[in-house]
Structure 1
Amino acid sequence: MAGSQDMFDAIVMADERFHGEGFQEGYEEGSSLGILEGRQYGTEHGARIASEIGCYQGFALAWKCLLHSSAGEKDSRKMKVVEALIGMIEKFPYDDPTYDKLHEDLDKIRGKFKQVCSSFSLGNARVEPERSP
């Protein structure tokens, strides 16, 4: 009778066992896919931020070169704003994705870029990162 009882328990408990095994397999597969999707999203988002900051840096360096030859008081104020933007960009933590003030610093850089554009009377200049198809 003990053998038939074990067989009966195995049949009754099969549903619960298969449910547990299925859950575990699904959890493992979902975890590995989540890691892959997270890396892909992080790479794309990081590339957009780097592209945006690179545009700001190129813009600021170009204006710095153009202003370098000028010596007027008005141009010296512009040069200070441009150099402040360059300084902010140089301090930006490109290699630390866990930096908790990353978005705050990025917003400050965007604000400084707007200030530079305003000082040159460029209106509503915007940098749009490239969108991949």
Structure 2
Amino acid sequence: MVEYFNLESLVHLEQTFYETGYEGGFAHGRIHGLIEGRALGRAKGFEMWEELGFYEGFALMWQSIYEKQARNDDRATNHTRRLLELISQFPRINPSTSDAAAEVDIPKLFRQIRSRYKILCSTLGVRPSLRYSDRSQDRDEVADTGVAESDDRPKNTGVWRVESTAPKPVNGQSFDF
């Protein structure tokens, strides 16, 4: 019995190994890409909702202040109302799984909310700011102990200093070389 060897398979051997490795790597990368994508999406989603919550709390606070003081500042109340309307339009579910929410342009809506917040701050004469969660741990630590342990600079503990922070003049004899 004569057995023939397929010489053609040797010619394409490198390509066969490449295709097998590519298919295995692609499947493996797809699984890990989904896992990492979900983790990143969860983290970024939390950051977005934290920022939106800050804006909503800010607007609700000023709305209640104006209601309690019975002030009728049309510009500030209008900007507050519009900011709250924009925040209420933000989807509460994952838009990729819902047909109705898929039509919402999230980055555009988020830019509009940020812009409306800055306009409201300008109208109120308040400096726009947002404190992110990575700094909130430092603020809580300082608030609990009253001392910042990470460095020698005094941290903001909620009390404003009255003394001047101007640098002291240096005379020429104190230089060390």
* TM-score normalized by the length of structure 1: 0.81
2:108 matched residue in structure 1: 104
**Higher relative contact order, structure no. (Cα contacts within 8 Å, ≥ 6 residues apart):** 1
Cα offset, 1:90, TM superposition: 0.9
Q: CA RMSD in A?
A: 2.3
CA deviation vs aligned residue, 1:1-33 (integer Å, no higher than 9, x gap)? 752324x55555543332222121111111111
Q: How does 1:30-45 map to 2 (within 5 A)?
A: 30-45=29-44
How many percent identity over aligned positions? 25
Amino acid at match of 2:43: E
2:78 matched residue in structure 1: 80
Q: Tell which structure's C-alpha radius of gyration is larger.
A: 2
Query: 1:127 and 2:130 equivalent?
Result: yes
Q: Distance in 1 between matches of 2:33 and 2:134?
A: 23
In structure 2, the CA distance between the partners of 1:128 and 1:97, relative to structure 1 (3 Å rule), is farther
Cα offset, 1:122, TM superposition: 0.6
Amino acid at match of 2:87: I
Cα offset, 1:131, TM superposition: 3.7
Cα offset, 1:105, TM superposition: 0.6
Amino acid at match of 2:129: R
Amino acid at match of 1:70: Q
* TM-score normalized by the length of structure 2: 0.63
1:59 matched residue in structure 2: 58
Q: Distance in 2 between matches of 1:80 and 1:9?
A: 77
Q: Distance in 1 between matches of 2:81 and 2:39?
A: 34
Q: Which has a greater percent of helix?
A: 1
Cα offset, 1:115, TM superposition: 1.3
Cα offset, 1:84, TM superposition: 1.4
Q: Distance in 2 between matches of 1:2 and 1:40?
A: 59
Amino acid at match of 1:120: L
